[in-house]
Structures are given as structure tokens and as C-alpha cells.
Structure 1
Amino acid sequence: MSIMDSLLTFSLAAVLLTLTPGLDTALILRTATTEGKNQAIQAALGINTGCLLWGVAVAFGLGSVVAVSELAYDILKYCGAAYLGWLGICMLVRPRKQLIVADASNKTASNWFLKGVLGNALNPKVGIFYVSFLPQFIPQGHSPVIWTFGLVTIHITMGIVWSLMLIGATRPLASLLRKEKVIRWLDRTTGLVFLLFAARLAISRR
């Protein structure tokens, strides 16, 4: 895969992943609705900072694995493919009916940046996802560290842009993203993409 193909393919996948409602989207919508714009921006920056911390850890960890052990890389590849496949099947077979938003009854002042950071930094699923998702987009012969960090940066940039769009249009987007048909469609589409990437990762060569 060429550099341009890798960037374009990853960007398309990252856009879909970013648009699919999840816990991060729920936190931003909840904060924007009940706490205000500034607090929601803090939460969004915290969420993406948490992703960046995982990205740095995965970049250097993945680089070490690739450089040191062919066997470890293969194990990582197949575990990643299995994980992506499992996620894809779950989203296809059991798409969500609603976006669960945190309870908005407590409106006391909080450090929303720290909440956003901890929400992702303490979630190992973020690291597992990066490890399983990113290797297939690294062109052969290129540095895994540089490419992993670069791809994570692209994902984070998209996350920040989407977060600002959510905050700027909280009411209409919140209404849309809470519709059962929209959530089901996004889950099933994302699940199909995950299955395709899982198959691609499983048959890929170093």
C-alpha cells in the first residue's frame, strides 16, 4: 500500500469511527447541554488528550514489538484481527437502540478537562483498539513509531473538529444522534467496516 493509499484509507475509516456515537460523544453532549460551551470544550480537549497519551504509548510499544520480534508482531496482528472482528460482529448483530447519556442531575462545578483525560487514559480499550487498528495502515518499510503517532494525530484532529461541531450545534445533533435508526445504521456500518479491516489485517504481511 502506498503512502497516499494508507492516509486516504485510514482517514475514511477514522471519519466513520469518529462519527459513530459512543461514550465520548455522550459526555460532550451531556456537558454542552447542562454545563455550557466552555465546559464542553474542556471535556473535548481532555478526551482527545487521553487518546494522545494512549497514542504515544502504543506508538513506542508497537515500534519496539515490530523491531524486536516477528513472532510477537504476528501474535499482535492476529489478536488485533480477532478483536476487530469481534467488535464488528457485535455491532452488526446487536446494534444499540439508544445513546446512553450520563445523568445530568448533578450540575456542580467540575474539572471537565480532567474528566475527559481520565475517561480515555484509564480505558485500556482505547490502547487495544489503536494496537489492533493502526498496523494495517503503516506502509511497509516505514517507521511504525512515526506512522502510529501520525495516524493517531489524524484521528485526534478529527475528534477535536467533530467535538467542536457537536458543541456548536448541540440541540439538532443531539436529537439526530439519539434516534434509534441513526444509531443502528452507524453501528452496523461501522461493524461491517471493522470486519473488512479484521480480514485485511489477518492476511497482511509485514
Structure 2
Amino acid sequence: MINLLAFAFTALLIELTPGPNMGYIAITALSRGRAAGFALIFGIALGLLLAGLLAATGLAVFIQSNDTAYQILRWAGVFYLLWLAWDGWRSANETSPHITDTKSTGTTYFRRGLITNLLNPKAAVFYIATLPQFIDPGRETLPQSLTLTLIYVAIATVIHAVIVITGTQAGSFLANEARMVKIRRVLSGLLAVTAIWLAVSTHH
């Protein structure tokens, strides 16, 4: 129980640190509304869950130890984040925060959230580097890894949901369209900076 609480606290601190997910969730919530925002975080949650499962089964260790596979994944993630930043900047002039075709919006943003995290090597590295510290070597490893993965995904999803709700509420108060454009572009710029930071920080 102590290990679970310690891991939950660690995961909370990590998720409260601004990163690519936070930036893109904020952009989506402001520009596309709550439905798109929640579709995005469900995709992110699935991506984090799959990364955890890969780590638990040892495939993530292979990616981390195989430099070619790691670099391909790393740069694919960086360029995808840069594309998302450009897309957010380009669409900042769209004044309506919602899209009428909710089904299309949900599918699109769910897919984006999933791809963003599948192409983020730091997700796999997090599981490889952090989870073992909270695993009891005297018990079976796989069930413990899966439990810790579910805890992390749950904490991340709750924090992301708060960002979506806060972002859509803030959007309703920002009636000034020029101000909305500036905010979306600032967030897009921060997402681009995050992509560059990801490229530098994941170099090994």
C-alpha cells in the first residue's frame, strides 16, 4: 500500500509538470470545445495504457536499448507535435470554439491523442525508469506493473479532464475574439517549444 501511495504521489507531480499533452489539451479545449477535449484525453489515456503494457511485457525495453528504433520513434513524435502546434496556430483565427460534426471531431481528436502518446518515447521511458522503483521484488512483477500503469493513467486522465473543463469554461468568458486568437497561438507556440525540448531531452 505504501508503494502504491508513493507512486500515485510521484505520478501526480509528473503530470502536473507542463508537457506536450497539457499544451495540446488546452489548445483543443479552447478552440474545439469540451467534446473534442474529452475525445483527445481518452486517446491520450489509451496511448499511455498501451505504453505501460509494452513496458510491462518488455517491448519498451527493446525500443530503449535499440538506438535505431528509439530514434525513429523519437523524431516521429517530435515532428508530430510540431505539426499539431502548426495546426493549432493555423486554426487560431477560427472564431467558433465548437464544431457541429461532433462524431468527426471525436474520432479526429481521439486519434491525435493516441498517436501523440504512442510516438512519445518519454512515455515508455517513464514506465521503464520509474515503475521498477515501486515494485516489490518478492512478488510477481507483471500484476504490479499493470496496477501501477492503471494508477498512472487514471491520475493523468483526471488532471487532463480538469484542463478540459477549465479551458472550456475560460473560453466561454473570453468573448474577445482577438484575445482568443492570441491565447491559442501562445499555446501553440508553447507546444512547439515542448516539441523542441522533447527532441533535446530524449537525446541519448
TM range (shorter): 0.5 to 0.7
Gaps of 5+ in 2: 66-83, 172-182, 187-204
Structure 1 gap segments, 5+ residues each: 66-75, 77-100, 179-206
Distance across 1 between alignment mates of 2:161 and 2:51: 22
**AA partner of residue 44 (structure 1):** I
Aligned residue among 2, 5, 29 for 2:2: 5
Deviation at 1:33, TM superposition (A): 0.2
2:21 aligned residue: 24
1:155 matched to 2:152: yes
Corresponding residue number in structure 2 for 1:57 = 54
**How do 1:74-153 residues align onto structure 2 when only pairs under 5 Å count?**
102=85, 103-106=88-91, 111-153=108-150
TM-score by length of 1: 0.60
Q: Partners of 1:46 and 1:124 in 2: how far apart?
A: 16
What is the DSSP-based 3-state SS (H/G/I as helix, E as strand, rest coil) of the residue aligned with 1:169?
Answer: helix
TM, length-normalised to structure 2: 0.61
Q: Distance in 2 between matches of 1:163 and 1:128?
A: 21
User: How many angstroms apart in 2 are the aligned matches of 1:146 and 1:48?
Assistant: 19
What's 1:46 paired with? 43
Report what 1:36 is aligned to.
Answer: 33
Give deviations 1:125-176, integer Å, cap 9, x for gaps.
Answer: 211121011101001211211111111100100111111111111139xx9x
Large movers: runs of 4+ above 6 Å: none
Contact 1:34 1:104 in 2 (8 A): no
TM-superposed deviation, 1:32: 0.2
Percent sequence identity over aligned pairs:
32
SS in 2 for 1:105: helix
What SS does the corresponding residue of 2:138 show, helix, strand or coil?
coil
- Report which of the two has the higher share of helix: 2
Deviation per CA, 1:24-67: give whole Å up to 9, x if none. 001110000001110010111111110001111111218xx8xx
Residues paired across the two proteins, number: 138
Mapped partners of 1:26, 1:158: distance in 2: 17
Q: Which amino acid aligns with 2:47?
A: G
